[in-house]
Amino acid sequence: MTIIDKTADVPAPRGSTENSGPLLDVRDLHVEFKTRDGVVKAVNGVNYSVSAGETLAVLGESGSGKSVTAQAIMGILDMPPGRIPQGEILFRGEDMLTMGYEERRKIRGQKIAMIFQDALSSLNPVLTVGYQLAEMFRVHQGLSKKDAKAKAIDLMDRVRIPAAKERVNDYPHQFSGGMRQRIMIAMALALEPDLIIADEPTTALDVTVQAQVMDLLAELQREYNMGLILITHDLGVVADVADKIAVMYAGRIVETAPVHELYKRPAHPYTRGLLDSIPRLDQKGQELYAIKGLPPNLLKIPTGCAFNPRCPKAQDICRTDVPPLLSVTERDGGELPGRHSACHFWKEQIHG
């Protein structure tokens, strides 16, 4: 399996004397969970990389392994039952999987931060938001209670929470959903990390607020030149903010592409299916396309291509051979940077 190429002309990482490779490089990552019914193979050889200032969108259905990959990067998998039998997660060239607990802890929050889906349950209900924000400064920078609180108010201002000064001592349940997600974002931004992982940051919000939160996130990312991994199943969100996309299915990446190319010419039938199932105004009144079948049971992933039972174009080879993630080229063999597909028939898919 190959490593996803960086997209061209990415701004140099902050403090750029350090190595010039990607910020985060996930190599051949495997994650499995031991359950009573057997071993669930949630992630089966994922490769991706993110550079500073770049946004990678990881797309996929529930259970495709996109969140588990993120949790493995963050080091917040429950182990056991979780296990990482294979793979590397390089942050600035250092493998985080071989680091000690303390070393890893210092990266969390400070260098890599995470935004979770459900801000209500992800914030501690019995502590004020000010306390939870200030905690970042107190623990990582050793600030006094008072200074940390002042910084917390600044942060709340920066994510545009009105009347931050008055609300700093409020509890999470006293905020609306959108405001709570802003607090989550503020918490992730607190120490100006190099990389932010946003795990479906807008799924729990209503549509108007979704756009506001995404805009805010994109704006702050530009301002700080951070790397961003955006995990989502919402193709609409992705188009506006992402630089490149990785589509995941059954714990593997099935296609990667720069964002607009993917929408124009998908190179995998699964991506095609996802795109076709977006409701479109010009097809009003017609039946909406849906990928038939269900995501595979991770205890028993189908042989060959995991997508073959649901694929409209499946052939015999799809049921026996696992398609590797190969570079995709133009019809004349011209290079398509950053494009890969794990389909035996990617040529037919992209050019057909």
Give the interface with another protein as residue ranges (CB under 8 A): 74-76, 78, 105-110, 113-114, 116, 118, 121-128, 135-136, 139-140, 171, 173, 187
Residues in the chain: 352
Residues 330 and 22: their CA atoms lie apart, in Å, by 26
Distance CA 138, CA 134 (A): 6
As a whole number of angstroms, the distance between CA 302 and CA 77 comes to 25
Whether the CA torsion 307, 300, 26, 51 is positive or negative: it is positive
Q: How far is the CB of 226 from another protein (least distance, A)?
A: 16
Residue closest to 5 by CA, chosen among 324, 343, 325: 325
Nearer to another protein, 180 or 339 (CB): 180
Q: Nearest distance from residue 70's CB to another protein, in Å? A: 10
How many other CB atoms are found less than 10 A from the CB of residue 326? 16
Minimum distance between the CB of residue 252 and another protein, rounded to whole angstroms?
A: 25
Structure tokens at 220: 């702050």
Least distance from C-beta 329 to another protein, angstroms? Answer: 40
DSSP 323: P
Output 80 or 312, the one with its CB closest to another protein. 80
Tell me whether residue 140 or residue 233 sits nearer to another protein (CB atom). Answer: 140
The smaller minimum CB distance to another protein, of residues 111 and 265, is found at: 111
Q: How far is the CB of 247 from another protein (least distance, A)?
A: 25
List all residues 6 or more positions away from 221 whose beta carbon is below 8 Å from its beta carbon: 53, 55, 196, 228
Residue 226 DSSP code: -
Nearest CB to another protein, comparing residues 172 and 269: 172
Which of 58/267 has CB closer to another protein?
58
- Closest separation in Å from C-beta 18 to another protein: 20
Type and span of the H or E element at 255: strand 252-258
CA-to-CA distance for 39 and 152, rounded, in angstroms? 43
The two structure tokens encoding residue 346 = 């990617």
Toward another protein, which CB reaches closer, 80 or 285?
80
Number of helices (H) and strands (E) in the chain: give both, helices first.
13, 12
CB of 86 to another protein, least distance (A): 23
